Copies of this chain bind each other. A is one copy, B any other.
């Protein structure tokens, strides 16, 4: 059994430690500790709401580990200076480093030299894939049913919903696969492409590649990125949406989020309409349900909110973590696959 330690130094917080939270949720049997010298003695569950009693330790000397995962999503090219010494010591001990940031460990002279000296593996999850080029407008014609999770905003749960839907579809006997498109999903699934790292011209090509390399499946659930409404990442969202040419969308939202980080949050019926209209320019597509994240609501509040969403959108809604994904899976399995080009609204 692989022993994973996750570095969340000074950022063991649900918003910043997304990668850590996902690994604690989906690879909990392998995660032995988190490193955060500012939170020693506390547990993962206390700080992240997931991961149970997994301890927070001060440094690597206190645990045995095979793999050190950098568990904080850094923006852009930023690479925290405080990480360097921790990573160097892990490399010296032969511990594989798994890095999902845009900063490439293998391109760093110090990391590369130490890794070579110690025979340590540096896994840059976002490393470019130069063999994948432009799309060829092929995904739309594939038989595999393509489900795509999209969002009103970043960090509302598009990856988690995709993983949960895939699991539930497999529990129902379907030959389904979760298709990761971001570094955390790739770390969880051990498969996928870091599409937000791709050359912009090849983004749709990467999404198409993931479809065309999974034609043996009945269903694939493709993780979405960002949001069509997001001023920083909307291009990534659209490139993936058009590249994978989904049949069905599941719209992910945070029920307690009144506004998005940068703009007003449009009403859900408008969000649904805009995603459907945008998707339908490439391939017939429908939103089949809403996955709302109720982490900041009581259970009673969550039920009220879900009822309200269903009444407003006339679509099934759930919190897949709190209430399970059955409603969404039912919708996916019973809604007729859109076959003819719908007239955009």
Chain A residues in the interface with B (C-beta under 8 A):
75-78, 102, 130, 133-137, 140, 195-205, 228-240, 242-243, 245, 262-264, 266, 270, 274, 277-278, 281-282, 341, 344
Contacts and interface: CB of A to CB of B under 8 A. Distances in A.
Contacts of A266: 281, 344
B201 A236 contact: yes
A195 B200 contact: yes
Given A76-B134, A231-B245, 20 more contacts: A75-B133, A77-B133, A78-B133, A102-B133, A136-B232, A137-B231, A196-B201, A197-B200, A199-B200, A200-B200, A201-B232, A201-B233, A203-B235, A204-B231, A204-B232, A231-B282, A234-B242, A235-B235, A235-B239, A278-B278
Contacts of A238: 228, 234-235, 237-239
Q: Which of A102, A235, A238, A278 has the most CB of B within 10 A?
A: A235
Contacts of A235: 200, 203-204, 235-240, 242-243
Nearest to A227: B281
Contacts of A135: 231-232
A75 B134 contact: yes
Contacts of A199: 102, 196-200
8 contacts: A76-B202, A196-B199, A200-B235, A228-B238, A235-B236, A235-B238, A235-B243, A266-B281
Please give the count of copies of this chain that the complex contains.
Answer: 2
A62 B137 CA distance: 42
Nearest to A196: B201
A263 B102 CA distance: 35
A140 to B, nearest CB: 8
B232 A137 contact: yes
Contacts of A282: 229, 231, 234, 263
Given A229-B281, A270-B344, A281-B228, A234 B204 contact: yes
Given A199-B102, A200-B195, A200-B199, A232 B205 contact: yes
A278 B235 CA distance: 11
A246 to B, nearest CB: 13
A270 to B, nearest CB: 7
Given A199-B197, A266-B344, A282-B263, A76 B239 contact: no
Contacts of A262: 137
A219 B228 CA distance: 27
Contacts of A341: 264
A270 B136 CA distance: 25
Contacts of A229: 281-282
A236 B239 contact: yes
A285 to B, nearest CB: 13
Q: Which of A76, A78, A278 has the most CB of B within 10 A?
A: A76
A196 to B, nearest CB: 4
A202 B277 CA distance: 25
A338 to B, nearest CB: 15
A196 B201 CA distance: 5
A18 to B, nearest CB: 15
Contact of A242 (B201, B231, B242): B231
Nearest to A133: B76
A196 B239 CA distance: 12
